[in-house]
Copies of this chain bind each other. A is one copy, B any other.
């Protein structure tokens, strides 16, 4: 009895092409995963511990890459706060379905209850909604996008680009980390942060400062119970999800770090793997889409091979 498990689709999505080993007939299409698996060492870069946050939750570690190129002031402030243990013992206090989880000091707006910022934290920063494209390598996708004249990657971060204005900005894709703010554009300092957990809310592009994105551990955030109050806030403090700590990876002893490598978005392997997904043809996928959305491209990440 065959009951259609979508299994074939996903085996191939993950690249386990079970048919490519037929020696009598060379494979016509390499899967994205086959291309990634065959990438040379030079196609990978090591995650920089000084731009990496470890968010320790009771269920495990969320690994975040910071983007100082996009938001230098916010990232510097976040590093100061991480070094000072600002988020240790604070909570994820808001989870809105198909939108964001948000964390920081749930009582940050209540006088007398707010947790003090660590020494050196700046309490005012400029808005960093976009950066100049001058001298910046932009690995462009050929695909049309409704939100930006061009889309692609800068150092592996999903980005929009407007060649007319010379501006680059990070796109609100799944897993992207942004700095919450109040009404004034320059009211964020990086203390309250959100991670996208649903369909890319790209209408937020240009409206908030984006500071990085989750590389590993999204499934620890995305399963958190949605808050019942408007916008996904929890009604009672005990419903909030505790954060054990958020530390810079470089502050953690080397043996407790999680080494990761990221595929370079300017590598042949990345370009070919994206093309294999854009025009996927195999036993299951018979109609190539001829397109991929920026936010459907997840950056390949791996544990470095043993030397």
Q: Which residues of A contact B (CB under 8 A)?
A: 1-11, 13-14, 16, 96-100, 102, 104-105, 108-109, 111, 114, 123, 143-147, 173-175, 178-183, 185, 187-189, 191-192, 194, 198-208, 218-219, 222-226, 230-231, 277, 280, 283-287, 289, 291-293, 295-296, 298
Residues of B within 8 A of A194 (CB): 6
Contact assessment for A182 and B7 in the assembled complex, using a CB-CB cutoff below 8 Å:
yes
Given contacts A14-B231, A199-B173, A199-B174, contact A6 B100 (CB under 8 A): yes
Contact assessment for B4 and A179 in the assembled complex, using a CB-CB cutoff below 8 Å:
yes
A5 to B295, CA, bound (A): 24
> Which of B4, B203, B277 is close to A277, meaning CB atoms less than 8 Å apart?
B203
> Which of B192, B200, B218, B291 is close to A3, meaning CB atoms less than 8 Å apart?
B192
Copies per complex of this chain: 2
Residues of B within 8 A of A100 (CB): 6
CB pairs A–B below 8 angstroms (28 shown):
A1-B108, A1-B111, A1-B114, A3-B182, A3-B191, A4-B191, A5-B181, A5-B182, A5-B192, A6-B181, A8-B181, A8-B182, A8-B183, A9-B181, A9-B204, A14-B231, A97-B219, A147-B289, A199-B296, A201-B296, A203-B280, A203-B296, A205-B289, A206-B287, A207-B284, A207-B285, A222-B223, A223-B226
